[in-house]
Structure formats: C-alpha cells, structure tokens
Structure 1
Amino acid sequence: MRILGEHAYVLHARPWRETSLLVEVLAAEQGRLGLVARGVRGPKRQALRAALQPMQHVRFDAVLRGELAHLNAAEALDAAPRLQGEAMLSALYANELVLRLAPRQDPQPELYATYGELRARLGAGEPLAWTLRRFERDLLDAIGVGLDYAHEGDGGPLDPAARYRLDPGQGPVRMHGERAGERGRSATGRALLALAADTPPPVEDLGGLRRVLREVLEAHLGGRPLASWQLLGELGRVAATPQGRDSS
C-alpha cells in the first residue's frame, strides 16, 4: 500500500545496518507506524536525517509492506521544540508511553491530536508536572481505557477532602482508614476533580496525581516498567518539586 503526503510525529529513530534507520512515527491516518529509512546516514542526507529526529513533525511518502513501511521521502513541517533537561526527559517519557501503549497500524486521530498538544506545551515551557498529567489522562482516553475522574467507581461524586486510589477498571476508589504507607499511593479528591475539569490543581496535589496515574499506566503496560521511569528514578527526578516540575 502506498502512503503519500502523510503527516506524522517522529517518536523514535535508531541505526539499522550501516546506513539506514528504523523509525517509529505516530501518523495522522495510519496510527503508530514503523518505517525503514534506507541510506539516510550518508553525508548527503543530512536534511532527511534531521527530519527524522524525535518530536519532529513531518510529511512523508512510504510503501507499506507487512509490519513495516519503506520510507521514500520525508520533510520537516516545522522546527521541533528545542528541549533541554527535564523537558527533554519528559519528551522521552511521553514518546516511550506512546510506543508501548499505542498499537501499530491502528488509526488514532485523538492520540495524534493529543501528542501535538503535548509537543506545543513542552515547547512553550508550560509546567511539566501538569503537562504530563494531562497527557497521561488524554492518552488513556485515546486508546480506549480512560477513566471518569469526577465520580467514584459506584457512580457517586468525589469528595474533594477524601483520598482516592485509581483502579484501572473502576476509576476512583475512596480510601477509608488509611494504613501506614497507603497515603503515598493516593490522590486527593480535589486533585482528581481538577484533572477531570482540566484545571491545574494545587501544587501540593501534583505528586499524588502522578502516583495514582502511574499505577494505572503500569497495569496497562503489563508489568513491564518504562526505561524512562528507571532513568528518571536514577536521576532523582521522580518526585514532584515544589515548582511542579515533575518529569514522570
């Protein structure tokens, strides 16, 4: 099948053989797609290599053969955000999430739009913790496993003052008589209601949101943790900072 003029975001690229790349993209119409880019590592193909960097927005032509498509041409549609430090790690984390959770060759227009919003927010320097929580929420919605963050599993409204954990299948579950250590695995009802309303919660609630959403993501990842989680943990960037600059 020929693919012409398809728009996509580059998620990952790695060397293959001597002069080629294996590239993963999130395409507007094709969903997540693997591309074989042959002969792009030579000195005369710098523009093409630059267009195949992570987070780059591209237009490409390819021929789909089985699981992979063979790239014929690609051009950058704009300049990818210049990210450094925690923003760059946040992009790495988001790309890995999409690679792990989005099925190949399954059109995901909502996820494509969600990724574009994330890219714009990272490029604009918006607070990382809240930016990533919104992306996690919208990613889960886009792949069909989203939750209702405004109501308890039985349908009742959340109590802003109560604490909740997130069940991957049921949604918010109120915690009664917290045992030692369980507070670290919960979020306030106030934080979950803010997430549902797409309104930034108080800074002190961001850490709880990260933890409960991570448990949901872990369930859908099938017990295989992300490499970026390990990297972020080693760098001491797992916990939210007072400024809400949380990379995972």
Structure 2
Amino acid sequence: MRLTAESAFVLHARPWRETSLLVEVLSERHGRLGLVARGVQGPKRQALRAALQPLQWIRFDAVQTGELARLNTAEAMDVAPRLGGEAMLSGFYLNELTLRLAPRQDPAPELYDAYARARQRLGAGEPLAWTLRRYERDLLEALGFGFDWHHDGDGDPIDPAARYRLDPEHGPRRLLSDRGHGDRSSAATGRGLLALADDRLPEGDDLPGLRRAMRGVLAHHLGPRGLKSWEMLSELGRVAAPRDGHTTGE
C-alpha cells in the first residue's frame, strides 16, 4: 500500500542499524504506523531528522509492505512545541500513552484530533494536569473504552457530592460511606467527574482524585507493565497536582 501526503504526529523515534531510524507515528487516516527511515545520518539529511522528532506534525510518503512501512519523504508542517520541565514530561507521557494503547494500522480519526488538541494546549501553556485528563478521556473514548461521565455504572446520575471509583468495564461506581480507605484514596469526586464530562476545568481539589481514578483505568488497559513516565514522576516525588492544575499530577 502506498501512503501519499499522509498527515501524522511523531510519537517516538529510535536509532536502527547504523544510519536509520524506527519511527512510530499517529497518522490521520491509518492510525498508528511504524516507519523505517533509512539513511537519515549526514548533513544533507538534517531536515529529515528534525522532522522525525517526537511531537512534530509531519506530512510523509511511504510504502507499506508489512508491519513496518518504508519512509520515502517527510516534511515538518509546523514548529513543534518547545517544552521544558514538567511540560516536556507531559509531552513524553502523551506520546508514551498513545504508543502503548493505540493499535497499529487501525484508523482512529477521533484520537488524531484529540492528540492535536492536547499538543496545542501543551504548546499554549494551558494547565498540564487538566490537559492530560482531557486527553485521557478522549483517548479512552476514541479506542472504545469510554464512559457516560454523567451517569454511574447503574445508570444513575452522578451526584456532585459523592465519591466514585472508575471501574474499567462498567464506569463510575459510587462509594458508600462504609467503604474502606483504600477505595476512597483512588476515588474521584462526582463534581470532578461532571466537570470532566462537560469539559469544564474542575476545582483544584478535584484534580488529584481525577488523576488517581483515571490512572486505575489506564493501568487496567495497559496491563502489568506500567509507563516509564509514571516511574519518572514517582522518582521525582511529583505525585499530586497543585490547586491551580498546572503540574502534570501524573
């Protein structure tokens, strides 16, 4: 299959053999794709190497002959967001999560659009924790794992004053007052869930609960192997979002 003028975002690139790269992209029409970029070393290939950096939006031509496609040409469509500190780590998380959960060669235009929005928000300096929670919500929806955020797993409306854990298979489950502390520590407020449902910035106190509840769902779909970005944030001791929502909270 020949891929012509395909629009995509670069998720990951790593050296392969002496002069080539293995590149993972999220494409607009074909979902996640693996590309082999041959002969990218040398001064004449500098523009191509720059176009294949993570978070870069590109247009490319390739030939799909098996699991991996052979890259012919690629050009940058804009200037990738210049991120530093926690914003850079958030971009790494965005790419790693997409790489791990999006299947190859499975068109997902909703996911492509969600990634484009999250990338723009990172570049614009919007609150990091809120940017990532919105992307997690949209990614789950695009991959068929989403919930009705306005109702719990039994079909009852979400109560803003209650607390809920997120069951990966059934959606929000209301916690009763006699439940153990372990359930409550990974729970989200109903107020936070409704804010997420309405795409409305939650109260600062609600963001940590959303992070913990969403992580449980994502961990279920990721399986026993977690994310490197989670490990990095744990090592740095950044495990909770502040009230303003600007920290990743991952």
TM-score (norm 1): 0.98
The one-character-per-residue Cα deviations of 1:205-242 (angstroms, maximum 9, x if unpaired) are: 00000000000000111222111111111111221123
CA deviation map 1:26-83 (0-9, x unaligned): 0001110000000002222110000000010000000101000000000000000000
Alpha-carbon contact 1:238-1:246 (below 8 Å) kept: no
Task: Give the Cα separation in 2 of the matches to 1:200 and 1:126.
Answer: 11
CA RMSD of aligned residues (A): 0.9
Q: Could you tell me which residue of structure 1 aligns to residue 32 of structure 2?
A: 32
| 1:165 match | 165
The alignment partner of 1:26 has SS state of strand
Which amino acid in structure 2 is aligned with residue 157 of structure 1? Answer: P
- Mapped contact 2:111–2:139 kept (Cα < 8 A): yes
**Structure 2 matches for 1:28-177, cutoff 5 A?**
28-176=28-176, 177=178
Residue type matched to 2:229 in 1?
S
Cα shift readout 1:86-119 (whole Å, capped 9, x = no counterpart): 0100010010111110000011100000000001
Contact 2:26 2:32 in 1 (8 A): yes
Separation of aligned partners in 1, 2:179 and 2:203: 22
For 1:63, what is the secondary structure of its paired residue? strand
**Equivalent runs, 1:164-243 vs 2, <5 Å:** 164-176=164-176, 177-243=178-244
In structure 1, runs of 5+ residues without a counterpart are none
Distance 2:239 2:140 in 1: 21
Letter matched to residue 223 of structure 2: G
Contact 2:147–2:171, Cα closer than 8 Å, also in 1: yes
Counterpart amino acid of residue 114 in structure 1: A
| Matched residue type, 1:90 | S
1:127-154: per-residue Cα shift (whole Å, max 9, x none)? 0010000000000000111011111111
Residue number in structure 1 paired with 2:6 = 6
Report Cα offsets for 1:159-206 as digits up to 9, x if no partner.
111110000111110111232333211011000011111111100100
Q: Is 1:31–1:108's contact at 8 Å kept on the other side of the alignment?
A: yes
Q: Secondary structure at the match of 1:181?
A: helix
Instruction: Give the secondary-structure state (helix, strand or coil) at the position aligned to 2:126.
Output: coil
* Structure 2: 5+ residue stretches without partners: none
Residues 31 and 109 in structure 1, CA contact (< 8 A), matched pair in contact too:
yes
Inter-partner Cα distance in structure 1 for 2:115 and 2:46: 26
Letter in 2 for 1:85: G
Distance 2:48 2:246 in 1: 33
CA distance in 2, matches of 1:65, 1:88: 34
Q: Classify the secondary structure of the residue corresponding to 1:123.
A: helix
Name the CA distance, whole Å, in 2 between partners of 1:121 and 1:89: 14
Identity of aligned residues (%): 68
Bigger Cα displacement from structure 2, 120-129 vs 223-232: 223-232
Inter-partner Cα distance in structure 2 for 1:223 and 1:165:
20
- Distance in 1, matches of 2:200 and 2:116, equals 19
- How many positions carry a matched residue from both structures? 248
